[in-house]
Chain A
Amino acid sequence: MIRTIVGLIIVLALSAIVISSISDYSVPSQLLGAGRFYTERGVDDTGSVNLVTAVVVAYRGLDTLGEVVVLFCASTAVVLILTLIPIGANPTPPSSIVAFTAGVLPGAIVLFGIYIITHGHLSPGGGFPGGAVVASAFLLVMLGSNTIPGKSKFLASIESLAGLTFGLLGFWGMLTLGQFLNNLVLPAGSPGRILSAGIIPIISLAIGAKVASELSGIFASYRKAGGEE
């Protein structure tokens, strides 16, 4: 009871602070600063029609490399911690709906994920959402089967290969153009075509493969630790 009251008081105080701070906020009518720079120069600089991808992969590519490292650390930590939990003997058997869907849908889901990954510089999408979609197909297959997934060398090697590709592309830009992860070591091409925007499509593929394999690894270790004791 006292917990609820204190929680409510804190939440109300927080909302009062926020509301008072944005009460004199006026809706901006035009872009300023970095946003304006990116919208005016983005296509000419990177060749990517999707400016969000241009910012994520080209302008701030180093941050994205760091982000991939964070995801890698998290998935490693999940696997490490879950080795402390005994493996569940029997995974919960799937219902007939899940089992049937797991036999029908994964191919289409993987195809859709690859579409999102490869069109990252043309339409909303890119490596991270596409990789998550591909990993969801893996999750569906896993939920539809009765067995506990074993160790997968295939997943681990895909993950390492993708990370290596990302890093090597960065060093390629450093060697030829003097900038780590410079986008234009490959020609920018004509914006709007699928083979354009320099190294953005390749980096999208690498990120997609890495995210898909890491999320699949997390799901697999969850599945291993789950089930009835």
Chain B
Amino acid sequence: MTAETMFYWSLAVTALGLVLIGIWGVLTKKNILRIALAFTLADTGVNLILVWSGFLPGRSAPIVDSSVTSMVDPLPQALVLTSIVIGVAVAALFVVVGVLAARKSGSADVRRMKELRW
């Protein structure tokens, strides 16, 4: 296994690890701001997986230059640009709704937020 393939697969492992840490945090944490943080982590991991899927070892960034002969796939990177912006929008809303819920229930603990229970 060359250094390049190791780098390639370590990217995949990092991305997957981020997603799993995020899901674990969403499932087990109780503070709503920590849940928002974990959610953002999972979001970052998904973005990394998308970029990784368009990455080919040994190729350069998709910017055309006279010295560039082969480049990686630009499409996943363009998708991830969209995904990052949507992620920011969702995170901003998440935090605001979380703060509002915490003010209403007097605590940031999701177990004390009874309004959404059934």
Contacts and interface: CB of A to CB of B under 8 A. Distances in A.
Contacts of B103: 85
A209 B12 CA distance: 35
A73 to B, nearest CB: 8
A29 B82 contact: no
Interface string B52-90: 001011000111110000010111111001101110111
Interface stretch (A48-56, A146-154, A181-189): A48-56
Contact of A42 (B20, B27, B64, B85): B64
Nearest to B49: A18
Contacts of B93: 74, 77-78, 81
A128 B56 CA distance: 25
A40 B4 CA distance: 25
Contacts, number: 117
A75 B84 CA distance: 15
Interface string A89-130: 000000000000000000000000000000000111010100
8 closest A-B pairs by beta carbon, nearest first, are: A74-B89, A35-B73, A55-B78, A7-B27, A51-B74, A7-B28, A51-B62, A56-B78
30 contacts: A6-B27, A7-B27, A7-B28, A14-B20, A14-B23, A15-B16, A15-B20, A18-B16, A27-B5, A27-B56, A35-B73, A35-B74, A35-B76, A42-B64, A43-B64, A49-B63, A49-B64, A50-B62, A51-B71, A52-B77, A52-B81, A55-B78, A56-B78, A56-B81, A67-B86, A70-B89, A74-B93, A77-B93, A84-B100, A124-B61
Interface of B: 5, 8, 12, 16, 20, 23-24, 27-28, 54, 56-57, 61-65, 71, 73-78, 81-82, 84-86, 88-90, 92-93, 96-97, 99-100, 103
